[in-house]
Amino acid sequence: MGDRVLQTFALSVKKMIRNTDFLARFGGEKFVLIMPETNATEAFALLDKIRENIASMPAKSLGTHNSITVSGGLANFKLGEKAEQLVERADKALYRAKDAGRNRVVAAES
């Protein structure tokens, strides 16, 4: 995926999130979005809205000839959980989304 696509994705997401949320590139084509004080239902709705927004963008505006899709893995922080465990659960959910056909958001198993 090209840099322009990644930059456009990041800018689009930043317009959709709150000032208290934190978006960071997490290597390659992965991003992590931290949403404090957000329950699973709210987080899922926002991630799905982001997915729909990116999917509706004309490929040309993203600097590519191919359509872009977003697959997301959602994990809520559990009390006492280490950051690595949270990321691992989100990553597993992401790969379940990809295995299920991509362009979807999947919540981590509790």
Taking every pair of C-alpha atoms in the chain, what is the biggest distance, in angstroms?
45
| Burial 13-44, CB ≥16 within 10 A → b, else e | beeeeeeebebeeeeeeebebebeebeeeebb
Residue 29 among the catalytic residues: yes
Catalytic residues: 29
